[in-house]
Amino acid sequence: MSTVDKIKQQIAENHVILYMKGTPDAPSCGFSARAAAALKSTGVEFAFVNVLASPMIMERLPEVSNWPTFPQLFVNGEIVGGSDIVVEMHAKGELLPLLKSTVQ
23, 7 Cβ separation under 8 angstroms? no
Number of domains in the chain: 1
Domain hosting residue 44, numbered range: 3-100
67, 76 Cβ separation under 8 angstroms? no
pLDDT at 104: 52
Q: What is the pLDDT of residues 39-76, one digit of tens each?
A: 999 999 999 999 999 999 999 999 999 999 999 999 99
Domain at 88, CATH number: 3.40.30.10
Tell me the pLDDT of the chain averaged across its residues. Answer: 95
